Amino acid sequence: MDDVLLLLARLLLAGVFGVAGVAKLVDREGSRRALGEFGVPRPLVPTIGLLLPVLELAVAAALIPTATVWWGAVGALVLLCIFTVVIGVNYAQGRTPECHCLGRIHAGPAGWPLVIRNAGLAVVAALLVAQGREHPWPSLVGWLHEVTPAQGISILCGLLLLAVLAVQGWLLLNVLRQNGRLLLRIEALEAALPPDAGANALVEPSMATSAPPFALPGLNGNVVTLENLLALGKPVLLVFSDPDCGPCRALLPDLARWERDHAESLTLALVSRGTPDANHAKLKTGELSHVLLQKGSEIADAYGVNGTPTAVMVRRDGTVGSQAAPGADAIRALVQQSATAAALSREGASTDGHRNGRSHPAHIVSPTVGDAAPSLRLPDLQGRSIDLSDLGGRETVLLFWNPGCGFCQRMLPDLKAWESQSEAPMLLVISTGTAEANNAMGLQSTVVLDPDFTAGRAFGASGTPSAIVIDEEGRIASALAAGAPSILDLARTGRQRAHAL
């Protein structure tokens, strides 16, 4: 094989692997995310995420000196074959995860073009390997001693010109690609509209009309409906997002803070697109309680939402409570408006005449300690009817629960530890959700179903998890406790009373 072609092949492979290794080290988060999407087990992602760019840089370095060219070519061939097989297997399974082969320089869905590119580079590496380990490789710098100063300056200027042209070409290519993607999205939107539709063909539900219902899987696989969210007895803020949307990612810390600060007056649900893995990569563990996944934009379309991030408020009675609020500032104003309405409600001003389709005052009146507990008859997970009066003779903690609530899920291990304590108060879990979702929790205590959160409201609960103690005579024995720490205090107090007796 001609020495010039061998030299160009070495330079090509060294350049590709050198750029890929440096780009991956610069964009380590994106590279790790890509490894997870390609099916690498999560425990191995950090190690492989660091090892892979180091190997690529080692291959690039080995292709430069004549003594190690063959070894560098072998390393390049092995890596390229692995890349090609992994991408091909994922593509054959119908998966096209985003490839960060060149870090932030170029990222896109892995498909046959990438397989063909890697296969071509593998052929180049195979040609170098085929020359044999003892082949007299041409030196990259051996010809420099024959170059005159004038020729050296000309070569340097030529290289600088090529670099400038390469950068300009890369920028132009990316601009054209971006414009192409934008045109394709515009064409897809236009194709989805009726022939006589104008620019505002997406019809936004009118204020005070019933909110479009939905049933969507969460990140943990549990299906959550709008009815489940409304059963918590608070307005629901639906925030439509996309894992690849920059403004959406920037808004996530605000969403987590709003959920914490307004937990008693607002239920926040993030409605996102994409796979669970893609959304897990954007979200910190447990950062938001309700993250729901739509297949495309079917729920967003139903609410008249045509961009992300956008939010819509749903009132407690299941009607639309706001127009679509696009952008961080509009969403922030919508949250502030809800907080103000909640404050007025606590002061006794009616901001919402009814809740969940039933007439209620704007604020909840909790039973006081010493009052007789409201009557309660609900079905358990086997369909048997359970009456609160049947539990007399022993102190009982009524725990208001929702299997789709992130705060409840984080409390589940503590709850199981509570059940293992023989001297702890008896526990009755009053839960929303389906029997299947509640069975999956694996609790030993009696669980009864309250899909409309009727019992919770009767005892003054405004959200989950919350709890209240009923004494042996069926009277309220504690104030309502909201949140895991306060609820677990009820168990500790009950054990202390049992020891005192």
The phi and psi torsions of 427 (rounded to 5 degrees) equal -115, 130
Is residue 368 in a domain? Answer: no
Residue 351's domain spans which residues?
215-359
Q: Using alpha carbons, select from 405, 374, 379 the residue that is nearest to residue 232.
A: 405
Domain match, 332 and 241 both: yes
Tell me what pLDDT residue 78 has: 92
**Arithmetic mean of pLDDT, 48-75:** 88
* The last residue of a domain, from among 359, 385, 410: 359
Peptide bond into 136 cis (omega under 30): no
By the 8 A CB rule, do 125 and 13 touch? Answer: yes
Helix (H) or strand (E) holding 494: helix 484-500
Is residue 39 in a domain? Answer: yes
Q: Minimum mean pLDDT among 66-80, 163-177, 341-355, 358-372: which range? A: 341-355
Q: Minimum mean pLDDT among 96-110, 155-169, 209-223, 286-300: which range? A: 96-110
Query: Can you give the length of the chain in residues?
Result: 501
Q: What is the band of 328 on the pLDDT scale with cuts at 50, 70, 90?
A: confident
- The token pair at 308 is 């992300």
Domain match, 391 and 347 both: no
Domain match, 192 and 128 both: no
Tell me what pLDDT residue 74 has: 92
Is residue 392 in a domain? Answer: yes
Domain match, 266 and 297 both: yes
Domain match, 293 and 180 both: no
- Average pLDDT across the chain, whole number: 77
Strands 466-470 and 385-387: unpaired
- How far apart CA 109 and CA 100 sit, in angstroms, is 9
Distances (CA, A) of 369 to 449, 465, 498: 25, 20, 19
- The token pair at 147 is 């170059």
Peptide bond into 465 cis (omega under 30): yes
The DSSP code for 390 is: G
Strands 426-431 and 446-449: parallel
Between the CA atoms of 16, 89, 241 and 285, what dihedral angle is there, to the nearest 10 degrees? -90
pLDDT at 265 over 80: yes
Domain match, 99 and 219 both: no
Number of domains in the chain: 4
